[in-house]
Structure 1
């Protein structure tokens, strides 16, 4: 019997795309557009050179890029995006050493209730400072974040920086490890996923996805360890952490879940090192119809895969 999961009326992220290199341009590799078919049709024939549009800017500048408004900007699909109700976007480049594997782009809509956070932190003077972020209706939390910095090892961003690994943090509003817990609780933020974004040139970036109960970024998160020294063999990954309020613990330490290269959705990412966006329930856990899997390459080698589901 399939698991039946209540679906939220809104999610924080409306659209997710993967742009992959094709010669000297980025072309659409995959996308999940929900019901925004007109925007999907406007995106399919588009391509971006280095420095062109949002994906091209993330490629050229080798860093995550937050774009909070489209009108008058370098965004090249403004008319279609505004017609679809989209108002902001974040582009995350995926590099393996100096080689660009893809650019993952998430697009959001803005209203009075949609709450969450997609943050980009950058190391400056021995601390992580907010480079930019999109928060929806969480305006006070945004203000607090702009006035917060994290030394190495402190808070979610600092812990990711110190460990060079993705980290899941629960109960943001009450957890003592989450430095901004009071303002997170007031904003309704419950779950945080932090991950390193390795880029050429030595700059340090950390991406944090903060999910609220009413308008979640995702209803399920997973972290897979793909380091051969930790997993025990090459071309495999082990699920080391995961969270879903309805399903409870997603793995068993005595019998850890494993993925093998090219087998299943996680195996596909393990095999090619490219982000995956699935808008179909085929191959997904029961009760979910979309998935994003984002690989992390450390020192040129695939080290982790983070996945989220709706």
Structure 2
């Protein structure tokens, strides 16, 4: 195993939580809250109807929703969020065909130093345009993004739109494939994870998570392929791409299989494969391998689970 991970950098995302449908409401199904236990306790006792609050709004609209301020909004836990220092959130619905499986909500704390981006891109007149996004202190990069569009196949959003598959990009500030490389470099953005977010109508948004070294969204990103053509009769999923801030594998056994294979119910990724729903939770001890939290998000093609993307912080 590598050395212990340096965790002094302030994360761009402070809280992640999962909401699952139960009848006509969304109920709490887990989350990572770090030192914000009081906000977590408020969440555990909350329910959302369709169209109610941020998770319910993502359910009813069938697409990711960005909420940049809680003041005067439909956010249901404003007092608890204010006490925790949380100021913005993004809700990501997970649909299998027309069926909602869960809503993943990530919450951020705004200040003058936290830089990153969580962006939602949607097709308009044959081009991908920015639907909304949260950028923290990266104001110039936000302006550039608002004035950028992507044809199919171009840049990170366009590449995801064309392939229908999640993608990782490295070295955003110097990579020629990243269209906004100059402004990304000035903002300190280094790593990009993009993924399709299908809606119940069959249309897909593209979600991009852009991480800066000083205030990272995560310290490790992974993409797992669960398509039958890739895993064959074994089922499960294979690791097809990943970025880590340290050398060495995340797992502790001596297996050198490439690509790495996990079965349903094996570890966090296996739980996503088994349940079809996201996971967001704290991890400790040897299970965490030096990380404090993990988020694992399923991506469907139609009704079939095709990929799992995960990030560790």
TM-score bracket for the superposition, by shorter chain length: over 0.9
Q: Which moved more, 1:39-48 or 1:213-222?
A: 39-48
- Greater than 4 Å deviation, 4+ residue runs: 248-254
TM-score, length-scaled by structure 2: 0.95
1:285–1:279 distance in 2 versus 1, CA, 3 Å: closer
- The CA deviation at 1:100 is 0.3
Q: Which moved more, 1:200-209 or 1:294-303?
A: 200-209
- Which residue number in structure 1 is paired with residue 114 of structure 2? 114
- Which residue number in structure 1 is paired with residue 73 of structure 2? 73
Do 2:2 and 2:247's aligned partners in 1 also have CA atoms closer than 8 Å?
no
- Which residue number in structure 2 is paired with residue 225 of structure 1? 225
- Which residue number in structure 2 is paired with residue 276 of structure 1? 279
For 2:187 and 2:278, the matched residues in 1 are separated by 30
1:306–1:215 distance in 2 versus 1, CA, 3 Å: same
Q: Does 1:259 align with 2:259?
A: no
Residue-pair matches, total: 310
Do 2:86 and 2:109's aligned partners in 1 also have CA atoms closer than 8 Å?
yes
- The CA deviation at 1:159 is 0.2
For 2:257 and 2:12, the matched residues in 1 are separated by 35
For 1:295 and 1:254, the matched residues in 2 are separated by 23
- Which residue number in structure 2 is paired with residue 88 of structure 1? 88
For 1:166 and 1:292, the matched residues in 2 are separated by 15
- Which residue number in structure 1 is paired with residue 21 of structure 2? 21
Q: Which moved more, 1:263-272 or 1:207-216?
A: 263-272
**What SS does the aligned partner of 1:197 have?**
strand
- Which residue number in structure 2 is paired with residue 53 of structure 1? 53
For 1:266 and 1:93, the matched residues in 2 are separated by 18
Do 1:235 and 1:270's aligned partners in 2 also have CA atoms closer than 8 Å?
no
Query: Which whole-Å deviations, capped at 9, do the CAs of 1:206-232 have from their partners, x for residues lacking one?
Result: 000000000000000000000011222
For 1:248 and 1:128, the matched residues in 2 are separated by 37
**What SS does the aligned partner of 1:233 have?**
helix
For 1:31 and 1:208, the matched residues in 2 are separated by 21
Pairwise CA RMSD of aligned residues?
1.7
For 2:285 and 2:266, the matched residues in 1 are separated by 13
**What SS does the aligned partner of 1:241 have?**
strand
Q: How does 1:202-241 map to 2 (within 5 A)?
A: 202-233=202-233, 235-241=235-241
Could you tell me which runs of 5 or more consecutive residues in structure 1 were left unpaired when the two chains were aligned.
Answer: none
TM-score, length-scaled by structure 1: 0.96
- Which residue number in structure 1 is paired with residue 156 of structure 2? 156
1:267–1:254 distance in 2 versus 1, CA, 3 Å: closer
- The CA deviation at 1:254 is 6.3
Q: Does 1:309 align with 2:308?
A: no
Could you tell me which runs of 5 or more consecutive residues in structure 2 were left unpaired when the two chains were aligned.
Answer: none
Do 1:192 and 1:211's aligned partners in 2 also have CA atoms closer than 8 Å?
yes
- The CA deviation at 1:245 is 2.5
